[in-house]
Copies of this chain bind each other. A is one copy, B any other.
Amino acid sequence: MQSPGCLMAGRRPSLWPVSKTPPIYDQRYPARQLLDVIAGKWTPIILYCLSGGTRRFSELQHQIPDISKKMLIQVLRRLESDGIVARTVYPVVPPKTEYRLTPLGRRIHEPVAMLCQWAVENEKDLKTVMRKRGVTAQD
């Protein structure tokens, strides 16, 4: 997989890396855009949880115990404004809010799932890298 189209926008598939003045590296590169959307510390795990179906705020909090309220809501709000997550508020008391993936969200979850699958299948390679970084995966 080596075609120049991979990292760059489809508009100039033959200009780079061949061109003498390659296009500027910016947010037009699809792979960069994708990573900008999914690469946050909590984003993949939240997408993963929601890929299992609709979840209440507190359910997500319990499934991801290390996340703070602030980060959970911050990521959810960003995903919502990205059109990836839909939020439904039930006007009851105590409050009840549900989050679920939109159709677009389900598409965005695809590459996350691919990444997960590759990562599990190639855990040894990842462990090699982590070991070189001094991340001891004891326990």
Contact = CB atoms under 8 A, between A and B. Distances in A.
Given A9-B137, A125-B108, A129-B33, A1 B117 contact: yes
Given A44-B31, A129-B82, A2 B115 contact: no
Interface residues of A, number: 70
A39 B34 CA distance: 10
Contact of A122 (B28, B67, B107): B107
A130 interface: yes
A119 B38 CA distance: 12
Given A29-B45, A132-B81, A135-B27, A118 B114 contact: yes
A99 interface: no
A123 B10 contact: yes
Interface in A19-49: 21-22, 24-35, 37-39, 41-42, 44-45, 48-49
A115 B129 CA distance: 20
B116 A6 contact: yes
Contact of A67 (B25, B37, B81, B110): B25
Interface of A: 1-2, 5-7, 9-10, 16-17, 21-22, 24-35, 37-39, 41-42, 44-45, 48-49, 51-52, 62-67, 81-84, 104, 107-108, 110-120, 122-123, 125-126, 128-130, 132-133, 135, 137, 139
Going nearest first, the 5 A-B pairs with the smallest beta carbon separation are A6-B116, A30-B119, A1-B113, A39-B39, A25-B66
